[in-house]
Structure 1
Amino acid sequence: MNGSAGYPRNLSYLVKRLSGYSQNCFKLQALNQTTASAGQVVTCDMPLNSLVDFDNVLQGLHFDLCRCEMVIERLEVEINGQLIGSGCSMYNQLWSIIADTTLGEDVTNRRKVLQGSSDIVAAPTANITNQQFAIQNWLGFLGSCKPSILDTSILGNVRLRLTLAGPQILAMSAAGAGAGYTLSDIFFSIDTISIDDGLFYQMHQNFLQAGNLYEIPFNSFYSFTSTGGMSQSCKFSLSTQSLNRCWGCFITGANYPLSAAPTTGAFLDPITLTAPYFTRLGNAGTVAYGTATNNTPVTYALQSYQFNVKGVYSPNWRPDTNQAYALLMNSYNLSQDTLGGGNKLLDSLSKWNSGFWVCCQEFEHGSDDYISGIDTRGSVASCFWQCQGSITVGGNVGTGGINPGSSLTALIFVQTTSILRVGAGRQIELVM
């Protein structure tokens, strides 16, 4: 019996050792191409018969964008020929939501070093080339599987597929209509591990040959959209063992020029300093689309919202857009956090409503140790995101400007817990 088990780690003199341990990092080339542009798919296979650390998958590329993750429209993971991470559309929008509400300034500064770029403060006036970027933060299987180090000799071939987003993600000058982008020198890197102690691999082989299964939990994300005004009931349905979180927001669905942009009429939101495609509108007031002399004012007044899952309203009252921020912090378990952060540009309720607004409702206990979300299996659960508000299009100034009119895209993201079951002979089963 280990007598030190009841003492804190800083009082323990015992040392644990790994015998025959070694680690290395490998560069992986994309299968289909090293250069890609908007709408194309980049594919890469992980090393075969290796212990792979999925926490350290790194993509390198040359590109200019304030957040390189915004270039990803969909991320899919295929294991042994089976799609286990189907990937939600608008991956970049979800990443932007989570980054805006959780990434602190220290992390942002480290990202600037990796990405070779500073914050965008004005729309670019010329093509920008030869910017180095590296993607290190992933949503879905890559960023959440437990354990993060998996043996591909047990899993089979692991393939990643990245679908690139359209040019609407770009912050552009007023003359930038029709602009596009190209990624070059695309590659991935990953850490692999070897444990040659004569025991590790035999232990796994004996476990599987006895008919046992490994269960690997990970987060899955799904997206749903609806088009209309700010008063609508957006329906979404899914069957899952654990519904953990729901996000809801409104976006324009395209990249529109803004008269208040740092360069008048540019495709750059002055509040979020991203392309207006990523602007999330709440009780935003009046936004003028176009230039200073030719624009169309559109007034957004989102009043309240509420989720309905299997007939139960969450929260049990209809919060307004300001209350949504406090509820979102609760959903992230950040209410008592003094070290976490968020987008440094988000420093007022006015900016929250005008560029960053999103609501989030948690349905799980909030611990990685338990699968505790709502079980909607048996019958597909009918869920709703119900909103009340209005959109008013004003009269044109001058000749007016290109604008979304009285319609927005309601965007809903859902996070669930899935389980990958792995048996002998690389048998794969996915529990949604």
Structure 2
Amino acid sequence: MLSTLLAPTEAVTSSLEVKRALLTYDSVYIPHPEDREFFPQKALFPIMFPNLPMMGIGFSMGRPIKPLSQVENFDTDFEKLLDDVQFTRHQGTIDVLETYNLESARRIGSDYLDGYPINPQFLLNLYLGAATDEDIMVDAINKDPLIMNSSEDEIHRLAAGPTQQHNYADGDLPDLEWPVLRPELRYAYSVIARARIAHVLKTIGFCAMKQLVPTFSHPNYVNVTKRLQARATDVLDAVSKVDATLALRNTVLSVAHDEYVDESVLSKIGVDDVIKLRTRAWGEHAEKRDLLLQSAAELAKENADREDFSRIIREKITDYRKTFDELATERRDLRWNVKCTLALGAGAVATSTTVADVQSAMSQVQTAWGAATMIFAASLWAGDKFKDAYATRNKILEMEADFRDDLRYGIHQFYSGFGSL
């Protein structure tokens, strides 16, 4: 059964997000409050001095980029969250996760990666592409009340002031051209946007390596992932036109899976009550769901005949739906329901994605491209980088193999527009 990491933002994850995730996933991981760097600072050394021998030992060379900021009272809010979700009692089902060993990272002379599973140079290259994309930058902050309504002092605090100029990767990056309401804060807005983009990429990459599903709840972080998916669609569509074996992977939006729960009811019940809803029927339902999504991805990757693909997946959806009734009875007070469909359409590249609106609809869409492959393809979007479709195809397939991108895992988001049940 799949587990999820709730993606970090400037604010603490809410207990409602944790409860919502517990209804879908085996384990729910909350980001460690001190894990705010893009990658360990010591990992900058081999990037800045690639020709010097490292011998596995790192030295801090400063920050790669600005770390993700925290709202005021973050530490107090985090302790309250642990109390609300009864962390000590449910540890194992709910846990706090570090993307690398934070204690080791503080010691001089320890390994420069400190357990960080992503190649820092690879991640930095992805960041430099996304952080120069005006549309992605705007997506990261547009209409966010925290950004639009905060005082000038608070915006500067979130942007960490002029010290940002000393971060390694940000010195030459362009600021937003977008017509902001307060032009004097353009630089600060740009800094905040870049930090958000970096942590979207970090979360996706980490989860791809650890076979977790990243869950995004903040609308702006969701918008960044959607923009990355759109960029990847353009690139992968171009690639599929020169390689027929990839056509099905790109044109079949295989399974759309939506789970609905009444959030107003869920907010009033405790974690103990949510845990009680994780019954045998819930386990059987989750296993069938995971098998369905995995099968769709694997069949598409194997370049199955489109008619065979549709027939097999529809049969699996029918079998999966047989698990609905018992679970729906157990969760009737939450008005729980599921919509699961097979959709066909051109240009439908999206990895496994869960999203939810104010009515708490969580949607998972599965295709035959994994999350890490998606963000890599998106990085090739700018300029002339994917005009040579054959070369781009080779890069993408090599990256997919090197990254061991598991097709079952992708991006989960919260979204608007659940549709009819």
**TM-score where L is the length of structure 1:** 0.23
**Structure of higher CA gyration radius:** 1
Q: Which has the higher helix share?
A: 2
Q: Which has the higher strand share?
A: 1
Structure with greater contact order relative to length (CA < 8 Å, sep ≥ 6): 1
